[in-house]
Amino acid sequence: MTLKFGVPNKGRLNERTIELLTKAGLDLGEDIGRKLYIKARNQDVEVLFLRAQDIPEFVATGAIDIGITGQDQVAESGYSLIDALDLRFGYCHMAVAVPEASGIRDASEIKDGSRIATSYPNIARRYFESLGKEVSIIVVTGAAEIMPYLGISDFIVDLVSTGSTLKMNRMIEAGRILDSQAAVFTSEAALQEQGALISELVNSIQSVIEAENKKYVMADVPRARLPEVEAIIPGIGGPTVLEIAGNGEYVAVHAVIDSDQTFHVIAELKRIGAKGILTTPIERLVN
Ligand code: AMP
């Protein structure tokens, strides 16, 4: 049976999601942006382009087998889904924000009866219940931060990533509600039916993410300095050391390193007299 894979059709999560699926090996052809669904050419997988906020419900009810969306959307939906893989993008957090001029610095100071504008009514309701506060929730579909200015609400509950939107609107955070990033979600029922294909896809996506954070480094190192190389390149299971034909003085060293270590590793290799230092990206890393 064809696996149905829901992905966000627009917005912040769309582009990176498509990039991950393509790099993971799903052949989606051309014209990706204009179709509502695409059958992968090389796998029994159909990719459906859906609203990020609809994806949790579609996974929960079995309309799709697997989906990528923000953890905030799943929290808002109230469904309990299986978070099969955190995707390390779409980072944001949900917060209560108050006008600077309100004098409030912490959510505990918010009075009963206050009006809270939000596109996340369920999360907001649960949060204020947990604080033992009775507030009225005003549901808006976007631009919550303008609502206090318009006099429609006193405070807001909204997503924050850099905080610049709040700053622009002279608001400050008074309470952090939850942290979110994009993730792959599935359900128990889907795993029962399509477990093998789902794990294959999840493992592929994971190997792409792992590989993106690594580099392959190669260098010719003076044989006498070899003991120092291991300290420079802890690598996965240590570096590979190869003989260079016709050159007894140097050996070739290959290793996988963390991308953010590249600068340091190159500097250290140069310090011990390495030549021909080369780094390349890695497409997949399967452990
Ligand atoms: P969009 O379709 O662009 O509204 O994006 C929806 C998802 O992007 C949200 O559910 C979040 O998971 C994620 N996201 C990440 N950062 C932000 C942000 N600063 N504001 C809104 N959504 C964000």
Task: Provide the pLDDT for residue 236.
Answer: 55
How does residue 235 score in pLDDT terms, banded at 50, 70 and 90?
Answer: low
Share of the chain above pLDDT 90, in %: 92
Q: Please state, in angstroms and rounded to a whole number, the distance separating the CA atoms of residues 264 and 271.
A: 11
Ligand 1, residues 9, 13, 54: which to mutate, most atoms within 8 A of Cβ? Answer: 13
Provide residues with CB under 6 Å of ligand 1. Answer: 8, 11-13, 52, 70, 72-73, 90, 92, 159, 161, 180
Over range 228-254, report the average pLDDT: 86
Q: Is the dihedral of CA 76, 57, 89, 237 positive or negative?
A: positive
Q: Which atom of ligand 1 is nearest to the CA of 13?
A: 8
Domains located in the chain, CATH noted: 3-89+181-211 (3.40.190.10), 92-180 (3.40.190.10), 214-281 (3.30.70.120)
CA distances in angstroms from 62 to 46, 189, 265, listed in the order given: 14, 8, 48
Chain centroid to CA 259: how far? Answer: 18
User: What is the rounded average pLDDT for all residues in the chain?
Assistant: 95
Give residue-wise pLDDT tens across range 18-40: 999 999 999 998 888 888 999 99
Task: Provide the pLDDT for residue 32.
Answer: 85
